[in-house]
């Protein structure tokens, strides 16, 4: 029996993870590297050797390649998992352009699995675009599924046009012996929206209430809780999904208040973090010209969503309004050169905070944790 032919469009962390999973199961998998404009053959032994895109890119093993349109024209299943680095309306245009590029060569009988999160009703537009680009009728000439991937979790359900099951697809995506259940696309959108809103409603509550921890005793008590290890990196997970929910809902109903309130909660936290950095300068009688801020935030550059890149750039811009010398540090080794300036290190994730504390602390370094308390270690 011939192996199932699969193309994953987008050399993203999430796309690569499912591509590897399917290659190990014996599928014939190609993954599209948009920057190289080629489809790369992903064999089971490569999938086992290279656990992530970074390791694959660093080693550059010899891999079979095919033109993108050729690979897609042979695909039974096309997964759409590109990296999106624009925001707002520009992101929509970028996704549309990539989706057209991905689906223009698909043949009759093929299936498209959409892996980016959409808001409520967001897949209707994508389905119309797919029918227009392919010239095929949905549910007859072509099939469509909604399966929004994120880095730390895999959906348990698959949204399917007309809620139709596809056993072959379910087998390919099955992990830990958990069989995927098919539901209608609108059900999948609603369930994803509930997951996202629940996450951010909980986060907003923590951030807002933590502002009231002013005295030393209360702050010390809160440091002992699990909220102490919630960093800016965690706060920006799925922010893209939250924003796409916001653009899909009209009017000023409760749902819009939930979305906007959550976005405001994160923006308010960032403002508070910058105020803490400024007040640290004041308390220590430091001049802005004699101070250097180092933002330590190790990010995955292959992640589908660009929220973290966006947040980091925004932080740099806002901080440079007060302090000229702002640096970004990423990567496993922390090598902050000694300078004649007082250094404020801002730890943006638990991983980075552990890396900083492992290094030992110099007396002229102040560490700020981007947790709900904006904890300062001097």
CA distances from 67 to 2, 37, 64, 261, 327 (A): 21, 7, 11, 46, 40
pLDDT higher than 70, residue 361: no
- On whether the CB atoms of residues 281 and 288 are closer than 8 A, the answer is yes
Provide, rounded to the nearest whole percent, the portion of the chain with pLDDT above 90. 66
Tokens linked to 30: 């190609």
Tokens linked to 197: 């809103």
Query: How far is 237 from 142, CA to CA, in rounded Å?
Result: 33
- In this predicted model, what pLDDT tens digit does every residue of 291-304 receive, in sequence order? 999 999 999 999 99
- In this predicted model, what pLDDT tens digit does every residue of 237-271 receive, in sequence order? 999 999 999 888 877 788 899 999 999 999 999 99
Look at domain 5-190 and name its CATH class. alpha beta
CA distances from 297 to 193, 196, 310, 356 (A): 28, 23, 12, 11
Q: Which residue has the higher pLDDT, 358 or 72?
A: 72
What pLDDT score does 2 carry?
Answer: 78
What pLDDT score does 1 carry?
Answer: 63
Taking only Cα atoms into account, the Rg of the chain, rounded to an integer number of angstroms, comes to 23
Domain segments of the chain as ranges: 5-190, 215-377
DSSP states along 29-45: EEEEETTTTEEEEE-HH
Q: What is the mean pLDDT of residues 350-373?
A: 85
What pLDDT score does 250 carry?
Answer: 78
What pLDDT score does 133 carry?
Answer: 93
Domains 5-190 and 215-377 share a fold: yes
Query: How far is 23 from 27, CA to CA, in rounded Å?
Result: 5
pLDDT higher than 80, residue 337: no
What pLDDT score does 197 carry?
Answer: 95
Written in H, E and C, the secondary structure of 245-259 is HHHHCCCCCHHHHHH
CA distances from 301 to 94, 119, 172, 349 (A): 17, 24, 26, 15
Q: Confidence band (pLDDT; 50, 70, 90) for 363? A: low
pLDDT higher than 90, residue 15: yes
Backbone CA torsion sign across 85, 90, 95, 98? negative
Structurally, at CATH architecture level, domain 215-377 sits in 3-Layer(aba) Sandwich (3.40)
């Amino acid at each position: 029996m011939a192996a199932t032919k699969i193309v994953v469009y987008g050399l993203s962390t999430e796309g690569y993870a499912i591509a590897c999973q399917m290659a190990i199961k014996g599928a014939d998998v190609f993954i599209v590297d948009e920057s190289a404009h080629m489809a790369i053959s992903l064999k089971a032994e490569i999938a086992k050797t290279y656990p992530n895109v970074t390791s694959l890119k660093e080693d550059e093993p010899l891999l079979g390649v095919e033109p993108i349109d050729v690979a897609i024209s042979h695909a039974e299943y096309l997964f759409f998992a590109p990296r999106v680095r624009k925001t707002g309306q520009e992101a929509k245009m970028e996704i549309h352009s990539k989706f057209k590029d991905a689906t223009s060569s698909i043949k009759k009988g093929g299936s498209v699995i959409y892996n980016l999160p959409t808001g409520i009703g967001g897949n209707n537009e994508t389905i119309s675009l797919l029918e227009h680009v392919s010239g095929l009728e949905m549910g007859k000439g072509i099939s469509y599924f909604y399966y929004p991937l994120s880095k730390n979790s895999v959906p348990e359900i698959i949204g399917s046009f007309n809620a139709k099951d596809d056993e072959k697809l379910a087998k390919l995506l099955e992990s830990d012996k958990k069989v995927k259940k098919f539901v209608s696309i609108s059900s999948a959108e609603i369930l994803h929206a509930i997951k996202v809103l629940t996450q951010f409603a909980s986060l907003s509550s923590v951030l807002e209430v933590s502002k009231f921890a002013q005295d030393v005793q209360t702050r010390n008590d809160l440091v002992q809780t699990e909220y102490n290890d919630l960093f800016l990196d965690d706060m920006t997970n799925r922010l893209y999904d939250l924003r796409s929910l916001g653009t899909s809902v009209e009017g000023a109903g409760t749902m819009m208040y939930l979305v906007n309130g959550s976005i405001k909660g994160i923006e308010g936290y960032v403002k508070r973090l910058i105020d803490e950095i400024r007040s640290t300068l004041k308390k220590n009688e430091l001049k802005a010209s004699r101070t250097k801020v180092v933002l330590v935030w190790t990010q995955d550059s292959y992640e589908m969503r660009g929220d973290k890149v966006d947040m980091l750039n925004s932080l740099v811009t806002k901080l440079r309004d007060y302090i000229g010398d702002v640096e970004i540090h990423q990567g496993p080794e922390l090598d902050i050169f000694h300078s004649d300036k007082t250094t404020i290190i801002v730890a943006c994730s638990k991983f980075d905070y552990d890396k900083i504390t492992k290094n030992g602390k110099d007396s002229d370094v102040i560490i700020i944790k981007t947790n709900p308390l904006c904890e300062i270690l001097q």
